[in-house]
Amino acid sequence: MFKKILPAILAGAFAMTASAADDQAAVRAAVEGIGPGIEVQSIAPAPIPGYYQVVASGRMVYVSADGHYMLNGNLVDLQKKTDLSAAAWSGMRKAELAKVPESQRLIYSPANPKHTITVFTDVDCGFCRQLHSQIKELNKQGIAVEYVFWPREGVKTTAGNDTPSYTKAVSVWCAADRKSAFDSAMTGAAVKTASCANPVKDEFELGERLGVNGTPTIVNESGDVIGGYLTPEQMVKALNAPAGTARNG
């Protein structure tokens, strides 16, 4: 009897897998067909029956399995009073940032940090400079700051040249003393041009995939965006807040 039933079970499972694959192909085609340059990063079943949760070019949307309908906005569970979209973003940020090795970050950390934040930063950003001017106080409060570069002008100009902010970020990374060059640049000092193999383009593209649209963007250990610029006092308060209360989106 088991030998007769098993093929039917396997055939049903294969049909379900094939159907899901077809659905995801339809969803991908529909989203990427919205306009040029749109790239789908992930597709997963959504909490809404018949829909998929899609992350594409730094945006999270919900698309029907047939690719005909798209919902653009945060999905909220009214019974649990939970922002499901924010939770999904947090999980994605945490997983993706974990792939960035320490060797590709600029790290300012106390001996035994209580918290670690990742900051998408830009050399010419005024609030980024203000944040960095308080790095010693942040460390004193037990907060480790790990910087990744996100040049606000992007990587290339419309003419296809490197943008000034990208060039400065690369020059800081390629300096003989990277942290000293960064410290100096964050005071507004001129940056000596340098070049080498560097992670700046990859980090900029990572930020775009994760929905970063300005600097500084501060992400906590859970993958929550807790702010743009925060004072040390505000930072401590945000990091000690209950899980799920951080600013997300």
In tens, the pLDDT along 6-37 reads: 555 445 544 445 578 888 999 999 999 998 98
Write down the pTM of the prediction. Answer: 0.84
Is pLDDT at 82 greater than 60 in this prediction?
A: yes
What class has domain 2-78? alpha beta
Q: Considering the chain, what percentage of its residues have pLDDT values greater than 70?
A: 90
Strands 115-121, 143-149: pairing kind: parallel
Side chain identity at residue 84, one-letter code: L
Segment 63-71 mean pLDDT: 94
Selected from 3.40.50.720, 3.40.50.300, 1.10.260.40, 3.40.30.10, the CATH number assigned to the domain covering 102-239 reads 3.40.30.10
pLDDT higher than threshold 70 for residue 3: no
For 6: left if phi > 0, alpha if psi spans -120 to 50, otherwise beta; the answer is: alpha
Q: How far is CA 173 from the centre of its chain?
A: 20
Q: How far apart are the first and last CA of the chain?
A: 53
- The domain spans of the chain are 2-78, 102-239
Cβ contacts of residue 209 below 8 Å, gap of 6+?
41, 55, 57, 58, 96
Rounded to an integer, what is the distance from CA 218 to the centroid of its chain?
A: 10
Q: Are 238 and 246 in contact (CB under 8 A)?
A: yes
> What's the pLDDT score for residue 4?
57
Q: With bands split at pLDDT 50, 70 and 90, how would you rate the model's confidence at 167?
A: very high
Give the closest residue to 175 by CA, choosing from 101, 123, 111: 123
Per-residue pLDDT, averaged over 146-174, amounts to: 96
Is the pLDDT score of 138 beyond 60? yes
Average pLDDT, the chain: 91
pLDDT at residue number 21: 85
Q: For 201-210, what is the mean pLDDT?
A: 96
- Degrees to nearest 5, angle at CA 47 with 43 and 51: 55
**pLDDT grade for 245, boundaries at 50, 70 and 90:** low
Closest to 154 (Cα-Cα) out of 175, 134, 172, 168: 168
Q: Out of 30-44, 97-111, 178-192, 208-222, pick the least confident.
A: 30-44
Residues of 39-53 as b/e, b for ≥16 C-beta within 10 angstroms? Answer: ebbebeebeeeebbb
Least confident of 6-10, 147-151, 175-179, 188-192: 6-10
Mean of pLDDT values over 161-171: 97
